[in-house]
Amino acid sequence: MFAQVRQGEAPAAQSSRVCVRCVMDSSDPDIRFDDRGVCHHCAKYDEAVGSRVLTGERAKAELDTLVAEMRRRGAGRTYDCIIGISGGVDSTYVAYAVKRLLGLRPLAVHLDNGWDSELAVKNIEHVLKKLDIPLYTHVLDWDEFRDLQLSFLRASTPDSEVPSDHAIVAVLYQMARRERVPFILSGCNVRTESHLPPAWSQGHQDWRYIRSLQRQFGERPLKTYPHRSLPVQMLDSRRVRWIDVLNYLDYRKADALGILEKELGWRYYGGKHYESIYTRFYQGYILPRKFGFDKRKMHLSSLICSGEITREHALAELAELPYPAALQQSDREYVIKKLGLTEPEFEQIMSAPPKRFSDYPSYVNGVPARVARSLRRVLRRGT
């Protein structure tokens, strides 16, 4: 049985219990522990790996079948599949695997939201040139996107990377429709990113949530922002297949890093998703200071469960700053200036009481969803 951490406990009490298997702790307000002290994220990890990660001959057979179908349906077209590329390790390894290991003809798609680090840009250009993969870059309207990012910051939820994540997926599907390609191959994978607390961020594909925050806190209409409403998502799911290809490849991050550096001249950028300046600052500065959330815990926990690192290694890494203090200060000044904020305005954002996804309208929190949940409860009581 899992024990629930009570909402409203003091921060010190909430941060006092740590999973005995991984490094997730009570900074996740929804964490539960079993009688052995193992958290529910680890239980979900084992279930997901068992059901979604393929190995050995089964993985090869299913992947061979998928590749054959992609080639067949891509016949007479320019591309077999769409891949996203950020300059980070996961998406770059997908590009390498799709071209070098699977022999497919991908179109790489990149979202330029104005926050790419110089190293990420160089990685993308260098790697795709070496792999001979064409690139489509979608550049967001900066003034519009900046206003949306400010809306999320002012909403005071820990979800401020939702605007980028939603737009990335929307552009991938947009290009799949435009090029009439029915396959998107992603860098998402179970083994290295399964400890995902909803309290730390959610609503990534919830257009109603995004739109509601912009209407409440924004100053500009979202005229060009790439998005997918619920009906469009339902149609896309019938027309385009999303494949987490790394789940078929016995993906190990350390091995991938070595391959990319040796064969493609790719360079590491220092942390999970730190190829983006905003992500680096948001995950390494804003989330820990304002919300008490350190996303390194979830990334490291998945690597512990996958056997790539030890728990002791993860705890030692967590004892250090998320990234160097001097770079944090430099990023702080850069982000405040780029967002058009003053120091007092930024401090007001940092000191505002934290909110949760459930505090705002969304598809999940809408009237139809609430009615459906109520109906299910009534039906359960009647059985």
Do strands 3-4 and 32-33 pair parallel, antiparallel, or not at all (unpaired)? antiparallel
In this structure, the chain runs to a length of 383
**Residue 58 burial by CB count (10 A; 0-12/13-18/19+): exposed, middle or buried?**
exposed
Partnered with residue 244 across adjacent β-strands are: 186
What's the CA gap between 177 and 53, in Å, rounded? Answer: 28
Helix (H) or strand (E) holding 138, with range, is strand 135-139
- Look up residue 3 and give its DSSP letter: E
What's the CA gap between 93 and 108, in Å, rounded? Answer: 12
Please name the residue that has the structure tokens 């077209």: 77
Could you tell me the residue ranges of all domains in the chain?
Answer: 1-52, 54-383
- The Cβ of residue 251 has, within 10 Å, a number of other Cβ atoms equal to 22
What's the CA gap between 260 and 378, in Å, rounded? Answer: 54
C-alpha distance from residue 14 to each of 20, 31, 135, 200 (Å): 16, 10, 46, 14
Topology of domain 54-383 in CATH is Rossmann fold (3.40.50)
Do residues 148 and 166 touch, judged by C-beta distance below 8 A? no
Full pLDDT tens readout for the chain, 383 residues: 544 433 333 343 344 799 999 999 999 999 999 999 999 999 999 999 999 999 999 999 999 999 999 999 999 999 999 999 999 899 999 999 999 999 999 999 999 999 998 889 999 999 999 999 999 999 999 999 999 999 999 999 999 999 999 999 999 999 999 999 999 999 999 998 899 999 999 999 999 999 999 999 999 999 999 999 999 999 999 999 999 999 999 899 889 999 999 999 998 876 555 678 999 999 999 999 999 999 999 999 999 999 999 999 999 999 999 999 999 999 999 999 999 999 999 999 999 999 999 999 999 987 555 544 454 454 455 44
Do residues 153 and 349 touch, judged by C-beta distance below 8 A? yes
Predicted TM-score of the model (pTM) = 0.90
